[in-house]
Amino acid sequence: MKDLMTSEHPDWRKFIDRLEEELSGPGDSLNCPHDESFPVARKVLEAMGNFDIEESFSYFQENGGYCDCEIVFNVDLPDEPLSNDLFLADDADDVDDVHADDFSGGSMDDPGPGDEIGDWARPDWGD
Ligand SMILES: [Zn+2]
């Protein structure tokens, strides 16, 4: 039974790392032959284990990878983790805004350390 190499595969990261390593040219550039038969990816997949290479290539092409370097640039896109981070960052901003409003409603002149504000602000409004 053969595996399909996709971005869902547990070894995807390893595959991309090896592919980049094999392709790495002088400086930061990728020395890709831009060959639609994926000569470098084929070599890496053969070295990594028992993969259905032709089916994996079909998957690469469906996701915009038509040569070895395009697998790295087009197929390996970390879309979901990035948007999650942005969403969390928005939430954090909202929390900051709420705190800023609380402070302006209290003492404008001497806000002092956070703990003290809590101490004098609380009892008068109390139970
Ligand atoms: Zn290329």
Give residue 1 CA to ligand 1 midpoint distance, Å: 30
Give residue 41 CA to ligand 1 midpoint distance, Å: 11
**Tokens describing residue 63:** 């996701």
Give residue 65 CA to ligand 1 midpoint distance, Å: 9
Give residue 75 CA to ligand 1 midpoint distance, Å: 12
Q: What values do phi and psi take at 3, rounded to 5?
A: -90, 155
**pLDDT tens readout for residues 23-75:** 998 887 889 999 999 999 999 999 999 999 999 999 999 999 999 999 999 99
> What pLDDT, on a 0 to 100 scale, did the predictor assign at position 108?
57
| Cα separation, 41 vs 30, whole angstroms | 13
Q: What is the pTM of this model?
A: 0.60
